Structure 1
């Protein structure tokens, strides 16, 4: 009678786990032994044993879980522990991913700079904003269709419109947009952002970021960066899950999390 009661309770909790989380139930079905074999091999007195009194097959099947489950845990308790640990880990990973997604770069700059700033890395963006603030020291001395000459601190600086280059020290040494290129961009409509960034590719993101339309330019990370950040967080959690529950459950868990991330990013 106690054996029948324990078996019925096991079936009840197994159905509960299957309704609560499909990944956990799939892990129980794939990685754990068949219920009849499990009862015959390692289930004694309503206690799932993980010690030396189990056979080699059970040892190899459950070696990942020994550090998580206690030896005195009953089988239905073991299933509930697996479910609770899975939910807790998933919640932590979700919170860390939301924090990473909410990070953004904020730059107090003019609205006219946003199309250029959103293409640059944070370091280059700060430098270009500083160049924009120093633009008042440069005055136009002469301009033609191909060249613009600026007078600055007694020196003459030449901007070549066809080659998209400048002879100033900043552009020649650092190769990010200088104040002279910015001034030409603001003065001549045909000198577009692509012309300004033509020789500054080393300071750009691999993909364009999405800029807000406020005066204080808030530059969120692009979706590829968000995905990479979340993937790193998931991989860090996957190592723990793999150690505790095995590779099959870890892969199924990762597929579910990544599918959820893709749904969020495509909203």
Structure 2
């Protein structure tokens, strides 16, 4: 089993390499094919200065040579200078912002798993009751409303109206500054996880082996913990990858809204 999983993982990595190469190649040539140049917005640059700039950034080289240099730099982790922050290159900015984004994403993922999984389990055990209907209604709402809409609403209500939490800034990763971004980031994934867990639980609860376990006289708690949860969690485990990707990409917008010093 472990050998098959390792082989599957290696195959996926092998497929990812040409995919990343294709994306990098397409990005490079699309940017070069776009009209205009990188210094067109500068006001009336002297031709000598413009020539020196092109030479400094390697833009005077043939296109294929530029592509070769670009790939070599990317493989070394060098993504070039930042066009916004003059004293930094892109790699340095990523190194500064990535810990903030990773911390925010990890906490949001943990909140989504714990609360979403718990709500899904309880909703399945109370199928067609008030808690089940309320949970699924809120889950559908959480899925339908994107985080860039939820975030300003949370900031307006809890930050400006109730004045309970700060609406912007990182403050060294203080807990109060992380509450609203984490909630806004976790809500869509929490809703999806709750629905997945509920659906998995309901399917397993109807299975023959669960009826057999109950017929043997096992307590309901033991049936749920020992027999139902493990099988019901399989769809959830399969969703963890897309959920993490969704949280990390969603954090870019959330960081802009709450003015956090992350990658966004």
Question: Is the helix fraction higher in 1 or 2?
Answer: 2
* TM-score of the aligned structures, taking structure 1 as reference length: 0.26
Query: Greater Rg, structure 1 or structure 2?
Result: 1
- Give the TM-score taking structure 2 as reference length: 0.26
User: Which has the larger share of strand?
Assistant: 1
